[in-house]
Structure 1
Amino acid sequence: MPNHEGFSDFFYTSADGLQLHARVYGETNTGPWPVVCLAGLTRNAKDFHELALDLSARSATPRKVVAFDYRGRGQSAYDPEVKNYNVGVEAGDILAGLAALSIGEAAFIGTSRGGLIIHVLGMMRPAVLKAIVFNDIGPVIEAAGLAHIQSYLERDPMPKTRAQATAAQRGVHGKDFSALAGADWDRMVWALNRETDAGLVPDFDPKLVDTVASLDLTQPLPDLWPQFEALAAIPLLAIRGANSRLLSVDTLKQMREHHSMMEAITVAGQGHAPFLETGSLPNDIAAFLDRAERQNSQK
């Protein structure tokens, strides 16, 4: 199982008084751009543990890596107001955390909801974004993908043991993630849950489910093309799971047309969203960040 070594816990206070948490890997690393990792809807900083260890220990460009727990996830406080679980508020929380850490600019990696937050940051404070990795997210979200998320969150089983939790996750996601091995599923369960005296429980505020359940998928979903186009001058790597239901092949193609500096990777045997610590992805991401930084230094 993944261990908890290699990072420090950082706590700070949001504008409305919640105590929020982030993990900081390689906190003494200076020089290369730091990396900010933003997880999906119900996920947390643990999702990035293996990738963050890798990026913070690279011999040529060891980077400081900050992985945030949004409000209501991981070690961050739950919000009594469910309406505050939205990407605008969460983007503000990330900026507050970066200010508390004295980070003025960074490369950003956003999985699913994390990528939506990056779109918002591009409108709120574009100068903070030096390079972007979108993990299975773009300016258009497929309704079928959201319906799948609604479905498994609404009927998410409540296993008490890791073995039960692993079996449950494989039952829901196994067809979309044929490339994963047993250890990958174990890490997924470890990242999604926390241990209690009563057994495993999901590591997020249950009210987050309500924010997805309330979406009316019979109506057209708004897109983020204006926000995406505002990122056109920022180096971008888009990663898509070949079996993704959320990011379509057509949207990825359009993203290339709207962003001349965009690179893209399709991950075979994975769906929404690819595990960034698997296969060649750590090397691919590290190489992209190095290229973006070199190109920036040549301007």
Structure 2
Amino acid sequence: MGPLQEPVSRFIQSADGLKLHALDYAAPAGGGLLPVVCLPGLARAADDFDSVARVLQAEGRRVFALDYRGRGRSDWDPDWRRYDFDVEQGDISAQLGDAGVAEAIFLGTSRGGLHTMRIAARRPGVVRAAVLNDIGPKIEHAGLLRIKRYVGKLPPIPSMREAIALMRLAAGAQFSDVSPQEWERYARLTFVEKDGKVLLRYDPELAHTLDMVTPEAEPETHWEDFAALAELPLLAIRGANSDILSPEVFDEMARRAPLVERLVVEGQGHAPLLLDAPTIARIADFVRQRP
């Protein structure tokens, strides 16, 4: 096997005219294995999957990691109301179609896992196996309220060094096992330095998607969509300190999905960063079993 190709940025135009971005890690010559599609969390981007993508690519997989509208290198939407599951599903379908991906193993973190459940339920045969990173069919309300407190909100930060310190201060209790090198890597995946300022890598208007999350609101449930994954090979990952995926829901997922494999990432919360070697190795082992 020769040297692996660096990921290529693919851009397409959405149905309503936005430029959408994805990272395409080409399979080595003579591949033919199922590709892996990576779908990030609410305010995250395709680059989150770079470490795991390079390992999977080295094992012969094409990996296709998407930026939703308003995140990463995709255009921001002038109307925040279109940061919506149905609109994003249309974007995902268009991006997969443009890339020639008809079926794949899906790796979804948080919101990306919800998208994976929805795709499995609405487009049978597209999802051949799935890895759900710290997301389940019932989302803990306390966790959503915590996320609402920080999404789209950023105090003035003069440098990346201060950004790294801010992340460790805000999330250090949930992510006690994350190394200083991983904190720096994650901060650089979260913020960008531009014109002497540290900025978010997503549209702050995404915060409006959580407007309906109030202390009185009913918890979200997605058991009907999850049922579409129940007969498929499935790896469910939970951060040991997660406040989004509870141990009880994690257990119920195993009861309803007889083929599920489970991994608890110690010392991490919502959602495991997918930067540590043991977690990446477990995902690679799961993928390896699906030709």
Contact 2:43 2:151 in 1 (8 A): no
- Corresponding residue number in structure 2 for 1:210: 208
Indicate whether 1:40 and 2:41 are aligned. Answer: yes
Q: Could you say what the CA RMSD is over the residues aligned between the two structures, in angstroms? A: 1.4
- Corresponding residue number in structure 2 for 1:12: 12
TM-score (normalizing by structure 2): 0.94
SS where residue 105 of structure 2 aligns? strand
AA aligned to 1:288 is: F
AA aligned to 1:40 is: G
Alignment partners' CA distance in 2, 1:162 and 1:113:
26
Alignment partners' CA distance in 2, 1:264 and 1:197:
44
Residue correspondence of structure 1 range 28-67 to structure 2 within 5 A = 30-58=31-59, 62-67=60-65
Indicate whether 1:124 and 2:122 are aligned. Answer: yes
- Corresponding residue number in structure 1 for 2:268: 270
Contact 1:88 1:117 in 2 (8 A): no
Residue correspondence of structure 1 range 75-86 to structure 2 within 5 A = 75-86=73-84
Deviations 1:222-278 (A, max 9, x none): 310111112222110000000000000000000001101001000100000011121
Residue correspondence of structure 1 range 78-97 to structure 2 within 5 A = 78-97=76-95
SS where residue 157 of structure 1 aligns? coil
Structure 1 runs not aligned, ≥5 long:
294-299
Q: CA deviation at 1:91?
A: 1.6
Alignment partners' CA distance in 2, 1:188 and 1:239:
19
Q: CA deviation at 1:26?
A: 2.3
Please, which of 170, 178, 182 is the counterpart of residue 180 of structure 2? 182
Q: CA deviation at 1:27?
A: 4.8
Cα pair distance change 1:14/1:155, threshold 3 Å: closer
Residue correspondence of structure 1 range 88-107 to structure 2 within 5 A = 88-107=86-105
Please, which of 194, 197, 206 is the counterpart of residue 196 of structure 1? 194
AA aligned to 1:10 is: R
Range with greater deviation from structure 2 (254-263 or 117-126): 117-126
Q: CA deviation at 1:28?
A: 5.0
SS where residue 15 of structure 2 aligns? coil
AA aligned to 1:31 is: G
SS where residue 284 of structure 1 aligns? helix
- Corresponding residue number in structure 2 for 1:296: none
Contact 1:98 1:104 in 2 (8 A): yes
Q: CA deviation at 1:35?
A: 0.6
SS where residue 290 of structure 2 aligns? helix
% identical equivalent positions: 41
Alignment partners' CA distance in 2, 1:185 and 1:67:
21
Contact 2:145 2:214 in 1 (8 A): no
Range with greater deviation from structure 2 (206-215 or 137-146): 206-215
Contact 1:154 1:213 in 2 (8 A): no
Contact 1:152 1:172 in 2 (8 A): no
- Corresponding residue number in structure 2 for 1:297: none
Contact 1:160 1:201 in 2 (8 A): no
Q: CA deviation at 1:213?
A: 3.8
Alignment partners' CA distance in 1, 2:175 and 2:150:
15
Q: CA deviation at 1:157?
A: 2.8
- Corresponding residue number in structure 1 for 2:243: 245
Alignment partners' CA distance in 2, 1:191 and 1:73:
11
Contact 2:192 2:198 in 1 (8 A): yes
Q: CA deviation at 1:83?
A: 1.0
Alignment partners' CA distance in 1, 2:242 and 2:122:
29
- Corresponding residue number in structure 1 for 2:24: 24
SS where residue 286 of structure 2 aligns? helix
